[in-house]
Amino acid sequence: MTVEFNSPTVTGNEERYVIQAINSQKKSGDGPFGKKCQAWFEKMLPANKVLITPSCTSALEMAALLINIKPGDEVIMPSYTFVSTANAFVLRGAKVVFVDIRPDTMNIDENVIEAAITKKTRAIVPVHYAGVSCEMDIIMEIASRHNLYVIEDAAQGMMSSYNGKALGTIGHFGAFSFHETKNYTSGGEGGLLIINDEGFKERADIIREKGTNRSLFFRGMVDKYQWVDIGSSYLPSELQAAYLWGQLEFAEEINENRLSIWKRYYKGLLSLQDTRKLSLPIIPSGCCHNAHMFYIKVANLEERSSLIAYLKDNDIMAAFHYVPLHTSSAGLKYAEFIGKDRYTTIESERLLRLPMWYGLNEVKQQYVIDMIKEFYQ
Ligand SMILES: *Cc1c(COP(=O)(O)O)cnc(C)c1O
């Protein structure tokens, strides 16, 4: 038996909708499927204004453009994240300022943010790791006191919430990913930008449409369609939106399925936590998560390497990720870690992600649990 690490979500309706898009006259962005997806997010999250994008990376880039990040600006974020969180701001000339994470959630430590703020700081980018929320009340309070923007990297957080509010709808902006490794995909690549600050709604449309007022023109609000601002191409095609629609129809079912897999792992591995062999994820109160991943934490790097090898020998694919960005070659060039690295490096070296995907069956999952138990015997 082989247990893959990931298997992209498929509900069965994607094919029909994609063919429908192929056979329609409208294949570029914001066609009927694109509009349906956006209306769904606006209603379900809920959110005032959302735009689907080609990726979470491009949603983050749009946010950096919208707040006019310029050379010399500083943006605070955790070092334990995907490169796009940093790149979106480095592309605008900003210096990235990394701070430490909390060991319980692997999220930015809200208590070390303030010490990293300088006159040049413009924004804070909390990353909701594993779809578990950062401490947003405190982060928003710090941001408002220092007049900073908050851009939530909610790439992993669709269907998660913090004190009843959907992730991505709390900061000024929220960015989501529909890459094939995430809970919902628009056919391999895709993303979403949430614009919570009213003042950015119109400019978001312009930046997404190559710096033109095309969307105002289509709505009949201007009589000429022209170049009015900087911008780029941030619209996904109708084929991507059609694929995504096939998943949004099953959003709740996919979420329930993942949560039940998550709970089975937790229950199945609890005895190993009780005997202090490994640690299981911690979900703070007020955080409702989406079972984006199931990770365990082992003693150290060596033990993780031998467990990965042991599982691989038994055809189980487990994976780790995020070598902390401040230790990478680009990180050394474009960023600086402020404060002490108490947890970022050491906790990232202990973390191991187990196979987790929509439809992972009980037999395979039990096999993973059994093999981990066997390793520790
Ligand atoms: C996946 C991910 C991204 C990038 O998403 P894309 O859609 O591939 O651009 C950014 N940030 C985090 C935290 C992610 O997990």
Structure confidence by residue, pLDDT tens digits, 245-271: 999 999 999 999 999 999 999 999 999
Is 81 a pocket residue for ligand 1 (Cβ < 6 Å)? Answer: yes
Does 275 share its domain with 217? no
> Best of 56, 58, 105, 290 to mutate for ligand 1, by most ligand atoms within 8 A of CB?
56
Taking the centre of ligand 1 as the mean of its atom positions, its distance from the CA of residue 221, in whole angstroms, is 35
**Distance from chain centroid for Cα 377:** 36
Does 171 share its domain with 279? no
Does 154 share its domain with 98? yes
Taking the centre of ligand 1 as the mean of its atom positions, its distance from the CA of residue 272, in whole angstroms, is 31
Burial of 55 (0-12, 13-18, 19+ CB in 10 A): buried
Is 3 within a domain?
no
Is 5 within a domain?
no
Overall domain count for the chain: 2
Domain boundary among 248, 266, 292: 248
Query: Which atom of ligand 1 is the closest one to the Cα of 191?
Result: 7
Q: Give the residue ranges of DSSP H helices in the chain.
A: 14-22, 32-44, 56-66, 83-90, 136-146, 201-208, 214-218, 238-248, 251-274, 301-313, 329-334, 344-348, 362-375
Query: Which atom of ligand 1 is the closest one to the Cα of 127?
Result: 13
Does 243 share its domain with 278? no
Domain boundary among 213, 248, 283: 248
Is 1 within a domain?
no
Does 188 share its domain with 219? yes
Domain boundary among 183, 218, 248: 248
141 and 115 Cβ atoms separated by less than 8 Å: no
Is 266 within a domain?
yes
Residues in CB range of 186: below 8 A, 6 or more apart: 52, 178, 236, 240, 241, 243, 244, 247
Query: Which atom of ligand 1 is the closest one to the Cα of 177?
Result: 7
Query: Which atom of ligand 1 is the closest one to the Cα of 81?
Result: 13
Does 55 share its domain with 116? yes
Does 285 share its domain with 236? no
Is 158 a pocket residue for ligand 1 (Cβ < 6 Å)? Answer: no
Is 177 a pocket residue for ligand 1 (Cβ < 6 Å)? Answer: yes
Is 9 within a domain?
no
CATH of the domain at 21: 3.40.640.10
Taking the centre of ligand 1 as the mean of its atom positions, its distance from the CA of residue 143, in whole angstroms, is 23
Does 237 share its domain with 355? no
> Best of 6, 87, 152, 177 to mutate for ligand 1, by most ligand atoms within 8 A of CB?
177
Does 229 share its domain with 287? no
Average pLDDT of the chain to the nearest whole number: 97
Does 187 share its domain with 333? no
Does 63 share its domain with 151? yes
Is 267 within a domain?
yes
Domain span including residue 94 = 14-248
Give pLDDT tens digits for 316-374: 999 999 999 999 999 999 999 999 999 999 999 999 999 999 999 999 999 999 999 99
Mean pLDDT over residues 221-230, rounded? Answer: 93
Is 132 a pocket residue for ligand 1 (Cβ < 6 Å)? Answer: no
Is 49 within a domain?
yes
pTM: 0.98
Tell whether the model's pLDDT for residue 218 goes beyond 90. no
Is 55 within a domain?
yes
Does 229 share its domain with 262? no
CATH of the domain at 364: 3.90.1150.10
Give pLDDT tens digits for 116-175: 999 999 999 999 999 999 999 999 999 999 999 999 999 999 999 999 999 999 999 999
Is 272 a pocket residue for ligand 1 (Cβ < 6 Å)? Answer: no
